[in-house]
Amino acid sequence: MRRALTVTAVAGAAWVARRALSRRIGRSPLWPLPALENPISGYSPRRPLRALIVSRTEPAHGVLQLTLEASDLPAWAPGAHVDITLPSGLVRQYSLCGDPADSDRYTIAVRLIEDGRGGSREAHAQLVEGAELELRPPRNRFELVPAPSYAFVAGGIGITPILPMLRAATAAGADWTLLYGGRSRASMPFLDELAAYGDRVTVVPQDEAGLPDLSFLSGTRPGTLVYCCGPDPLMAAVTATAPDPAAVHLERFTPSAAPGPAKAFTVELHRSGREIEVGADESTLAAVRRELPATPYSCEQGFCGTCQHRVLAGEVDHRDELLTDGERADSMLLCVSRAKGDRLVLDL
C-alpha cells in the first residue's frame, strides 16, 4: 500500500512538473533564457488557426485552388494574405482570392513551381480535400485604398490578390481596368470569372501576343491608383512607366532587390553574453544559428515572421516585406535584414 502511494505521489509530482515546464516554455520558447516582459523573440504573436480543406480544384494548368473552412476565421479585406503551415512545417504565404463576405471560408491558389524551394510542390502533392491546415490570421500590406479610378496589372498567379479588388472596386462604383498577362491562356486562372467584366479586362497570353504593353499607364488621369502583382520585371516596368510612382502599389512574395552591397558586421547576443560575426555573404539568421541552433525560422525570404527578434541597439537595414513601421522600430527579421552600421544588439 505504501509503495502504491509513493508511486502515485511521484507520478503526480512528475505531471505537475511537466505542466509547469510546458507553461514556462510557452511564455519563453527560448527557455532556459529569461522570458521577456513582452515576448517577441522566438515566436509569432499571431494566433494560429485550424481550417479544413473542403474543396480542391485546378482553375488552370499548374494552379491548385483550395477552399478552407472554419467557424472562427477572422475577417479580411482585398489584398490580404495568409501564412499556411504545410505538412512538413514549411510556412508559405498565399493571397486570399475569395469573397471577404464569406466569413467561414478562405480561398487560395498555388502555382506549381517545379524548380522552386519546395513549398508549391508539397502543396500540390499533399493538400487534399479533408486535410486540416494550420494558418495564421490574414495580414494586409497591399490594401485597396479608396480612389475614383484604378489601373490593375497582374502577371500569372499575381491575379490572386487583384481578383477581390476588382469586385470591391466594382461595388464601390470606381472606374478601373485590368491588364492580365501570363505565359499562356491554359496557365492563367480565373479567365472565366474575368470575362464577365467585358472590355475592362485585357488578357495578354505571352505565347499569343508577347509581353504586355504598359504604355496605357502613362495616360492614366490624376488620382488613379496603380496596383500590380506579378514577377519582379513586370513590377519594375510598371513602376517605371506610371506617371506617379507614389501612386503605385506592389505586392511581392519574393525578396526585392537588396538596396546595396552587403558588408560584415558584429551581433551581440545580449541574453546569451556572446558576440558573433556576420559575414558579408551570409544572413544574420545563419550566423545566429551557429551559436543558437534552436533559433526558429521557416521561409528565409522575409515574409513569414518566424525569425522576428527584438533589437536592443544598432540601426537595422530592413529588407523584409512584412514588418510594419512600428515593428521595425524595435525588431527585425533575421533571415533577410542586416545592420546598417557595424553592430547590432539582439535580445537573444
203-247 pLDDT, tens per residue?
A: 999 999 999 999 999 989 999 999 999 998 999 999 999 999 899
What angle is formed at CA 13 by the lines to CA 10 and CA 16, rounded to 5 degrees?
150
Q: CA dihedral in degrees (304, 307, 308, 314; nearest 10)? A: -130
CA 24 – CA 34 distance, rounded (Å): 10
DSSP state, residue 34: P
**How much is the average pLDDT of 15-31?**
44
Taking all residues of the chain, what is their mean pLDDT, rounded to a whole number? Answer: 85
Does residue 107 contact residue 68 with C-beta atoms inside 8 Å? yes
Kindly tell me if the per-residue pLDDT of 4 is higher than 60: no
Q: Which residues partner with 139 through β-bridges?
A: 81
Kindly tell me if the per-residue pLDDT of 44 is higher than 50: no
pLDDT at 9: 52
Kindly tell me if the per-residue pLDDT of 17 is higher than 60: no
Among 5-9, 64-68, 337-341, which is the least confidently predicted range?
5-9
pLDDT at 303: 73
For the stretch 145-197, pLDDT in tens is 999 999 999 999 999 999 999 999 999 999 999 999 999 999 999 999 999 99
pLDDT band at residue 325 using 50, 70 and 90 as cut-offs: confident
Distance, CA of 197 to chain centre: 29
pLDDT band at residue 256 using 50, 70 and 90 as cut-offs: low
| Dihedral sign of CA atoms 185, 169, 325, 47 in order | negative
Does residue 146 contact residue 223 with C-beta atoms inside 8 Å? no
pLDDT band at residue 122 using 50, 70 and 90 as cut-offs: very high
Please give the model's pTM, rounded to 2 decimal places.
Answer: 0.72
**How much is the average pLDDT of 14-33?**
43
Q: Which residues partner with 333 through β-bridges?
A: 308
Nearest to 212 by CA among 188, 236, 187, 234: 234
CA 310 – CA 348 distance, rounded (Å): 8
- Scanning the structure block, which residue is given the C-alpha cell 545563419? 286
Cis peptide before 32 (omega within 30 of 0): yes
pLDDT at 171: 97
For the stretch 47-104, pLDDT in tens is 679 999 999 999 999 999 999 999 989 999 999 999 899 999 888 889 999 999 999 9
What angle is formed at CA 35 by the lines to CA 32 and CA 41, rounded to 5 degrees?
100
159-180 exposure pattern, b = at least 16 Cβ within 10 A, e = fewer: bbbbbbbbbbbeeeebebbbbb
Q: Is 331 exposed, middle or buried (0-12, 13-18, 19+ CB in 10 A)?
A: buried
Kindly tell me if the per-residue pLDDT of 21 is higher than 50: no
Q: Which residues partner with 266 through β-bridges?
A: 277, 343
pLDDT band at residue 127 using 50, 70 and 90 as cut-offs: very high
Listed in sequence order, the residues at least 6 apart from 294 whose beta carbon sits closer than 8 Å to its beta carbon are 30
The larger pLDDT score, comparing residue 101 to residue 141, is at 101
Look at residue 200 and give its three-state secondary structure.
helix
Kindly tell me if the per-residue pLDDT of 338 is higher than 90: yes
Percent of the residues in the chain that have a pLDDT greater than 90, as a whole number: 66
